[in-house]
Chain A
Amino acid sequence: MYFKWHCLLLLFFPLWAQAESEILTSLIAKPDTCVALREGRNCYTDVILTWQQPKIGNYCLRNATTKYIMQCWLKQRTGSFNYSFDSATSITFEIYDSNTSKVLSSAEVKLQWVYQNRQIKRRWRLF
Chain B
Amino acid sequence: MMRCALVKKIAPYILFLTAVYTSQSLASNRYYADNTLEPTHGFAWDWSVGASYYVEDTYLIGMSSYDDGVELDLNLAVSYNKFYLDIDHHQLSGGLIIGYSLIDKYDWGLDILATNVQAGLDEKGLKRYNGNKIEALVNIQPRNYDFDAGLRLSRRFDNSQISFEYLYDISGSHNGWVFNSFVSQIIPWRNWELRTGIGISAYSEKFTNYYFGINAQEATLKRAEYSTDTSSSVKFEIHGEYPLNRNWVFLTGWLSTWFSKEIENSPIIKQGYQHKVKVGVRYVF
- Classify chain B's interface size: 35 or more
Which of A41, A43, A114, A126 is packed against the most chain B CB atoms within 10 Å?
A: A126
Docked pose: A124 CA to B77 CA in angstroms: 10
Query: A54 near B: Cβ within 8 Å?
Result: no
Query: A6 near B: Cβ within 8 Å?
Result: no
Query: A30 near B: Cβ within 8 Å?
Result: no
Binary interface encoding of chain A residues 111-124 relative to chain B, with 1 for a CB under 8 A from any of its CBs, else 0:
01111111111111
Q: A44 and B246 in contact (CB under 8 A), knowing A124-B30, A127-B276?
A: no
Query: B155 near A: Cβ within 8 Å?
Result: no
> Which residues from chain B contact A40 at a C-beta distance below 8 Å?
36-38
- Of the listed stretches A14-22, A31-39, A74-82, chain B binds A31-39
CB distance from A39 to the nearest CB of B (A): 8
Query: B265 near A: Cβ within 8 Å?
Result: no
Q: B246 and A122: CB pair below 8 A?
A: no
Tell me the dominant secondary structure on chain B's binding face. Answer: strand
Docked pose: A74 CA to B115 CA in angstroms: 66
Q: How many residues of A contact B (CB 8 A)?
A: 28
CB distance from B144 to the nearest CB of A (A): 20
Q: A123 and B29 in contact (CB under 8 A), knowing A35-B243, A41-B37, A43-B191?
A: yes
Residue numbers of B with Cβ under 8 A of A are 24-25, 27, 29-32, 34-40, 44-46, 77, 79, 84, 86, 88-89, 97, 99, 101, 104, 109, 111, 188, 190-191, 193, 195, 237, 239, 241-249, 251, 253, 255, 276, 278, 284
Closest 8 CB pairs of A and B: A119-B79, A120-B39, A126-B253, A44-B190, A124-B32, A117-B46, A118-B40, A40-B37
